């Protein structure tokens, strides 16, 4: 993309309404624009990141054997009356009436609708196990929408639902989700720690929240510092292997890590003092096993091998897709702007032309642009007629992890400069070598 043809409305000033770095930087970098409280338009740069995140979530869900579908945002109230949650949910639910006076709502989550889909089509244990998921907008009329996309009213969530014959099978589905989430967050360059959590209004005995440690996080968390040393890495997982998934769950959940809702001072005191930490965290996902809560209420049954009709065991599993954009920035920024991890960056590499209109510089930039494209990469070429300082400031603000700087002086010696946004280190090399280097960086991502 050439910047002169793009839509990147960056702000010079710090917006007064933004209290935390991610909100401020998303507004300044022209990623979002508030439509009304807690409701945002995703401008082209922000939309690109949102899409990258969705792509990773889709790939990892499908790797785990989960099946995508798409349910609507608007739901009929009667499904929620069946489960008993229509009245229980309270003012967070946006209730709507259509022209026929039918009660509708903008879905805050989808347990009822997916259970209805399931019961309409599945009647036998032979069709299990089954996990369906979608990535869809949700609406929760939060009392205090704040921090930009971190606590929106309209927000994008991946929510998945498993249907299993037995509790044992459903717990395998739970473990499978935990493993796939570990992989998902790591691919985005995030450390998200599974912590024992509270079931809340969805209910359930088994639940973990995934938290990204950050001072601006809304949750208070307590953990054994050893847990921050764990990484999932590029291990190969067979998602059908019950023992392997269980082993990963044990590895990542055996140390103390809890949110304040489940925190227990007595148990925490057993952790050696030097390793006890309390901090703040951003909840970027949660997994639940809740048994037959919805299948009992909504009569979602299958016939088992013995010919008996039994309610299915279910769980639901969410990832805060739009909140992740904010969480990623909270975890990756400096005073100059955002620093995208390679896995989610909106463009792979920036090209800065120090002397627009100079024949050699323009030609070299065009060649770099074409060369990067030919490698399947998406560069953002700053081809504006602007001072170098302004171009650097924009690149630093929007946070592309790599920048190639092209100027007449370097070109005389046959070199351009490749700079890492994270370390600030630069290296001179011929343009072809810079293309090669950037391609290599992204080869494993
Ligand atoms: P919170 O405690 O932050 O209100 P929650 O526990 O009610 O969230 P879940 O029902 O677990 O949310 O939803 C799954 C994920 O969706 C959360 O882990 C979070 O990342 C994201 N999410 C929930 N509410 C919001 C919101 N208002 N804005 C943005 N993302 C949200
Ligand atoms: Mg939650």
333-352 confidence digits (pLDDT tens): 999 999 999 999 999 999 99
Same domain, 307 and 418: no
| 193 has pLDDT over 60 | yes
| 378 has pLDDT over 60 | yes
Pocket of ligand 1 (CB under 6 A): 109, 140, 142, 151-152, 155, 157, 283-286, 318, 320, 322-323
Residue 199: predicted pLDDT: 73
CA of 144 to the centre of ligand 1 (A): 13
Measured between alpha carbons, how far is 202 from 167 in angstroms, rounded to an integer? 17
The total of structural domains in the chain comes to 2
Is residue 201 very low, low, confident or very high in pLDDT (cuts 50, 70, 90)?
Answer: low
Residue from 206, 262, 318 whose mutation best tests the ligand 1 pocket (most atoms within 8 A of CB): 318
> Looking at the domain assignment, is residue 361 inside a domain?
yes
Burial environment of residue 360 by CB neighbours within 10 A (0 to 12, 13 to 18, 19 or more): middle
Question: In the predicted model, what is the mean pLDDT of the chain?
Answer: 96
Query: Per the structure block, which two tokens stand in for 263?
Result: 């925190």
> Looking at the domain assignment, is residue 344 inside a domain?
no
> Looking at the domain assignment, is residue 10 inside a domain?
no
| 285 has pLDDT over 80 | yes
Same domain, 259 and 393: no
| Under 8 Å between Cβ of 128 and 139 | no
Instruction: Write the CA distances from 307 to 168, 314, 351, 389, integer angstroms.
Output: 19, 20, 66, 74
- pTM beyond 0.95: the answer is yes
Same domain, 268 and 393: no
Is residue 198 very low, low, confident or very high in pLDDT (cuts 50, 70, 90)?
Answer: confident
| Under 8 Å between Cβ of 311 and 289 | no
Same domain, 358 and 245: no
> Looking at the domain assignment, is residue 7 inside a domain?
no
> Looking at the domain assignment, is residue 6 inside a domain?
no
Is residue 204 very low, low, confident or very high in pLDDT (cuts 50, 70, 90)?
Answer: low
User: For the domain that residue 436 is a member of, what is the CATH number?
Assistant: 3.40.50.800
Residue 219: predicted pLDDT: 95
Domain hosting 125: range is: 16-338
Same domain, 27 and 157: yes
Residue 322: predicted pLDDT: 98
Same domain, 42 and 68: yes
Q: Of 134, 153, 90, 190, which is closest to residue 317 (Cα–Cα)?
A: 134
N-terminal to C-terminal alpha carbon distance within the chain = 21
CA of 286 to the centre of ligand 2 (A): 5
- 108 CA: nearest ligand 1 atom: 10
Tell me which of 317, 338, 359 is where a domain ends. 338
DSSP 407: -
Measured between alpha carbons, how far is 323 from 194 in angstroms, rounded to an integer? 17
Same domain, 74 and 195: yes
Query: Per the structure block, which two tokens stand in for 364?
Result: 């070299």
Same domain, 212 and 360: no
Tell me which of 286, 318, 338 is where a domain ends. 338
Tell me which of 338, 364, 394 is where a domain ends. 338
Q: What percent of the chain lies above the pLDDT cut of 90?
A: 96
| 298 has pLDDT over 80 | yes
pLDDT digits (tens, 9 = 90+) for 4-63: 999 999 998 899 999 999 999 999 999 999 999 999 999 999 999 999 999 999 999 999
Across the beta sheet with 94-97, the strand order is 74-76, 103-106, 94-97
Is residue 203 very low, low, confident or very high in pLDDT (cuts 50, 70, 90)?
Answer: low
> Looking at the domain assignment, is residue 9 inside a domain?
no
Residue from 196, 209, 261, 283 whose mutation best tests the ligand 1 pocket (most atoms within 8 A of CB): 283
> Looking at the domain assignment, is residue 248 inside a domain?
yes
Same domain, 367 and 277: no
> Looking at the domain assignment, is residue 329 inside a domain?
yes
Same domain, 147 and 265: yes
User: For the domain that residue 290 is a member of, what is the CATH number?
Assistant: 3.30.930.10
pLDDT digits (tens, 9 = 90+) for 153-179: 999 999 999 999 999 999 999 999 999
CA of 181 to the centre of ligand 1 (A): 15
Which ligand has the minimum distance to the alpha carbon of residue 281?
1
Angle between helices 167-187 and 44-63 (to 10 degrees): 140
- pLDDT, mean of residues 309-313: 98
Q: How many CA atoms lie within 13 A of 101 on its CB side?
A: 0
Same domain, 105 and 242: yes
Convert 116-149 to b/e letters by CB count within 10 Å (16 or more is b): bbbbeebeebeebbbbbbbbbebbbbeeebbbbb
Same domain, 422 and 365: yes
Please state, as a whole number, how many other Cβ atoms lie within 10 Å of the Cβ of residue 303.
Answer: 13
Q: DSSP for 252-276, please give it.
A: HHSS-EEETTT--HHHHTTS-GGGE
| 205 has pLDDT over 80 | no
CA of 285 to the centre of ligand 2 (A): 6
């Amino acid at each position: 993309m050439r910047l002169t043809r793009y839509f990147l409305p960056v702000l010079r000033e710090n917006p007064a309404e933004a209290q935390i770095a991610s909100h401020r930087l998303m507004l300044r970098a022209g990623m979002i624009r508030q439509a009304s409280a807690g409701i945002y338009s995703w401008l082209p740069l922000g939309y690109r990141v949102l899409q990258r995140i969705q792509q990773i979530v889709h790939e990892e869900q499908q790797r785990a054997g989960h099946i995508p579908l798409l349910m609507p945002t608007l739901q009929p109230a009667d499904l929620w009356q069946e489960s008993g949650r229509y009245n229980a949910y309270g003012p967070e639910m946006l209730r709507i009436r259509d022209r026929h006076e039918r009660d509708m709502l903008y879905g805050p989550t989808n347990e009822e609708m997916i259970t209805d889909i399931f019961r309409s089509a599945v009647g036998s244990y032979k069709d299990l196990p089954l996990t369906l998921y979608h990535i869809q907008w949700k609406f929760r009329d939060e009392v205090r929408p704040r921090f930009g996309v971190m606590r929106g009213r309209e927000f994008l969530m991946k929510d998945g639902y498993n249907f299993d014959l037995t509790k044992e099978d459903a717990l395998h589905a739970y473990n499978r989700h935990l493993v796939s989430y570990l992989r998902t967050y790591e691919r985005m360059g995030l450390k998200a720690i599974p912590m024992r959590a509270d079931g809340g209004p969805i209910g359930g005995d088994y639940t973990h929240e995934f938290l990204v440690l950050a001072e601006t996080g809304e949750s208070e968390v307590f953990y054994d510092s050893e847990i921050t040393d764990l990484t999932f890495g590029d291990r190969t997982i067979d998602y059908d292997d019950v023992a392997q998934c269980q082993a990963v769950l044990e590895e990542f959940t055996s140390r103390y890590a809890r949110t304040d809702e489940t925190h227990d001072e007595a148990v925490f005191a057993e952790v050696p003092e030097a390793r006890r930490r309390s901090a703040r965290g951003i909840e970027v996902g949660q997994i639940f096993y809740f048994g037959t809560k919805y299948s009992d209420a909504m009569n979602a049954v299958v016939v088992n091998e013995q010919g008996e009709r039994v309610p299915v065991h279910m769980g639901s599993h969410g990832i805060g897709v739009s909140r992740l954009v904010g969480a990623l920035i909270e975890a990756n920024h400096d005073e100059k702007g955002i620093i995208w991890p390679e896995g989610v960056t909106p463009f792979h590499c920036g090209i800065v032309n120090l002397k627009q209109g100079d024949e050699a510089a323009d030609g070299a930039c065009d060649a770099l642009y074409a060369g990067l494209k030919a490698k399947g990469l998406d560069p953002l070429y700053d081809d504006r007629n602007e001072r170098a300082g302004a171009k650097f400031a924009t690149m630093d603000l929007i946070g592309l992890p790599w920048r190639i700087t092209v100027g007449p002086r370097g070109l005389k010696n046959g070199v351009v400069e490749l700079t890492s946004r994270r370390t600030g280190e630069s290296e001179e090399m011929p343009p072809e070598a810079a293309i090669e280097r950037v391609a290599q960086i992204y080869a494993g991502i």
